[in-house]
Structure 1
Amino acid sequence: MIIREAHFPGRAPLDAYGNGGFRFADMSHRGSLMCLPSGIHGWEPADPERLTVRDFERLLTEADGIEILIVGMGRELRRIPEPLREAFRAAGISCDPMSTGSAVRTYNVLLAEDRAVAAALIAVD
């Protein structure tokens, strides 16, 4: 059996979240997601409570196509650590942390408006 990295090669609105995952494009994914211009990728930050620049390496390599980053922090809103905020600023990305539910809704609206948006979403139960 070959296990491949989870990847949907396109942009799609998120239909649902919860139970440890997300639904989009008539599919479901268990775990966290990173929604980028290159597609929707499975994403597992090393420690969801302490996000680091390393957790966002893929996003930062695609920074040219991203103006706004929505970060779904789980059930509770938490601040983005300063070193990570500095990395986003240096890449010209505006970063907005919020609960995952709010992040899903905001991402869908910005995506429908055809904005240069990305999302990093920590799965919630």
Structure 2
Amino acid sequence: MRLNEIDYGNARPIEGYGPGFFRIGSDVHHGAVLVTADAAEPWGGYEDLETALTLSGHVDVLFVGTGQTMTAIPKALRDRLEAAGIGVEPMATDAACRTFNVLLSEGRRVAAALLPV
């Protein structure tokens, strides 16, 4: 099997995660986090709509990591983000991390709002 190095350019991938933390671009973040290609900041969870809305016009899709298992996200959150032009894809946090990295490596305009595992 041939393995290829992934070139993220200047983007900061999610390098790892564990109980209550994420490692993004060599920095460790504790608790829920909002990640874009060039930044990671604390996220207040489903109630923190304003932080997620700052992504409008900058990303096409937001992967919402819902924790250890995939669960539905609040309809109001989904509706407001979609009204702002942001596609919303909820999935388990581990899947959201992997999907974010794959699309980031393709140069896509993606972000991830992640609840810790």
CA distance in 2, matches of 1:84, 1:34: 15
| CA shift for structure 1 position 44 | 2.9
Structure 1 segment 10-25 matched on structure 2, within 5 A = 11-25=11-25
Residues paired across the two proteins, number: 108
76, 84, 95: which one pairs with 2:77?
84
Aligned to 1:69: 62
The two structures, once aligned, show a CA RMSD in angstroms of 1.6
TM-score normalised to structure 1 length: 0.78
Q: Compare 63-72 and 16-25 and name the one that shifted more.
A: 16-25
| Identity level (%) | 40
Q: Is the 8 A contact 1:11 1:35 kept in 2?
A: no
TM-score normalised to structure 2 length: 0.83
Structure 1 segment 28-67 matched on structure 2, within 5 A = 28-36=28-36, 39-45=39-45, 51-52=46-47, 55-67=48-60
Q: Using a 3 Å threshold, how does the CA distance of structure 1 residues 56 and 29 change in structure 2: closer, same or farther?
A: same
Q: Is the 8 A contact 2:22 2:28 kept in 1?
A: yes
Query: Which runs of at least 4 in structure 1 moved beyond 4 Å after TM superposition?
Result: none
What secondary structure, in the 3-state scheme, does the structure 1 residue paired with 2:90 have? strand
